[in-house]
Amino acid sequence: MAAEAARFLAPRAWVGSGWAADVLLVAGADGNWCEVRANCDAQAAGGATRLAGPVLPGLVDGHSHAFQRAIAGLTERSPAGKDDFWSWRDRMYAAALRITPPQVEAIAAHLYAELLANGYTQVCEFHYLHNGTDGRPYADAGEMANALVRAAQQVGIGLTLLPTLYMRSGFGALGLREDQRRFASTPASVLAIADGLRGAGPLITGGVALHSLRAVDAAALAEVAAAARGRLPVHIHISEQRQEVEDCRSVHGQRPIEWLLAQAPVDERWNLVHATHASRDELAALRQSGAAIVLCPSTEANLGDGVFDLPTWLGASGRWSIGSDSHVTRSWVEELRLLEYSQRFALRERNVAARAALTESTAAALFGGALEGGSAAAGLPLAGLALGQRADFMVLDGEASALLGVPDEHLLDASVFSSPSAPPREVYVAGRRVQAVETAPAFIAAMRDLWGAGRLG
């Protein structure tokens, strides 16, 4: 956190739901905003660091599997037969089964540096690689989790670590498949990892995750939900694939979200990842619970998952965040752009998010939604340039090609919908500018150790 108060003056900054001019931003010693004042005169801004471009709040990456950064670009050759999420999963397991803690640390550090460079200031790590490559527990149950913590601390990003419960291979199964041996865990083991994060550092916090309804039974679901209630954010993959929906209906007689709401005390601390094939009735019931959804547009597109019903969710003022998930892109701009464009493809209409959210600007609807929902995903006050929120922000490059000549009021629109996008000039976390850390050499070495001259799978 900031050791002392830090003062900044932004020529323009995104405050609330729009641009404000000459904004004084003061981060307290605790790393949170203690003053945000627009139209600030020169005298009041005396001594403030003048920022070199328009300022946006930092965003939360609400869903990450860091080890999957090691396969980005390596699953784009189709094997014989049908190629879908399930065949991709088998190839992803090739990485999950061989990666070591030092490799995870190197890959995660490089990934987290990429996320930071693009304006993500907090990442929610959905972590289920708990055991050794042979499936036996490490002497320290937090071995892999600690590697992720060190990676985040190395580059300076905030981390919400979500140790993930994974107990069985599918609905009605009695255990895991052999190629899922590294995922084996219990409610007690994942809660112990989460609780062990206390004192790990000012930017490190914990939550808990349930891999999916197919991976946990009702008793384990209830145990984790009860232990986390009122103190930890809870994440779960749900309704990502049609097969998952049909399998849930076959075993439980209900759709996944319908069954979850009947079994667990779902509330505002819950974050449902994907929800791609949720029905309108399920979304209505979920909205009443106060839970949020984490959307991962680039991964959902890459895996052929389908298109989320964004108009229904935005029309109900549902909370949501974005996640980079499998990390085929590490840019929030690309995620938001693809989220809107997928709706346009499906509906053959334009500015879908703006109309659903009853706002004029699609970029504002998307950015504002991702910003608000990010706090729910991370379990922290990260909702923008406002009092009490963590002092995370990015300084845009006003001289970038996509922004040249754009009227001030359209800077966010152009940032999202004009290419090529440019990374921010500067990124700040808890009031401190993040300095670039060299992560590429260790990342390259890890990739060579993993894949050499061979191919995935």
- At residue 82 the predicted structure's pLDDT band, cuts being 50, 70 and 90, is confident
- pLDDT reported for residue 453: 59
Catalytic: 325? yes
Query: Do the beta carbons of residue 48 and residue 7 sit within 8 Å?
Result: yes
Domains and CATH numbers, the chain: 6-57+391-433 (2.30.40.10), 60-378 (3.20.20.140)
pLDDT digits (tens, 9 = 90+) for 387-429: 999 999 999 999 999 999 999 999 999 999 999 989 999 999 9
Count of other CB atoms within 10 angstroms of residue 239: 28
- At residue 2 the predicted structure's pLDDT band, cuts being 50, 70 and 90, is low
- pLDDT reported for residue 452: 87
- pLDDT reported for residue 456: 65
Q: Residue 224: how many CA atoms within 13 Å on its side-chain side? A: 36
- pLDDT reported for residue 376: 97
Range 189-213 average pLDDT: 96
- pLDDT reported for residue 97: 97
Concatenating the DSSP letter of every residue in 232-298 gives S-EEEEES-SHHHHHHHHHHHSS-HHHHHHHHS---TTEEEEE-TT--HHHHHHHHHHT-EEEE-HH
pLDDT digits (tens, 9 = 90+) for 298-353: 999 999 999 999 999 999 999 999 999 999 999 999 999 999 999 999 999 999 99
For residue 66, pLDDT beyond 90: yes
* Catalytic, out of 61, 305, 309, 325: 325
Q: 447: which 2 tokens?
A: 């990739």
* Catalytic, out of 130, 274, 277, 327: 274
pTM higher than 0.85, yes or no? yes
DSSP-derived letter for residue 137 is: P
Query: Do the beta carbons of residue 371 and residue 384 sit within 8 Å?
Result: yes
Cα–Cα distance measured from residue 30 to residue 390, given in angstroms and rounded to the nearest whole number: 9
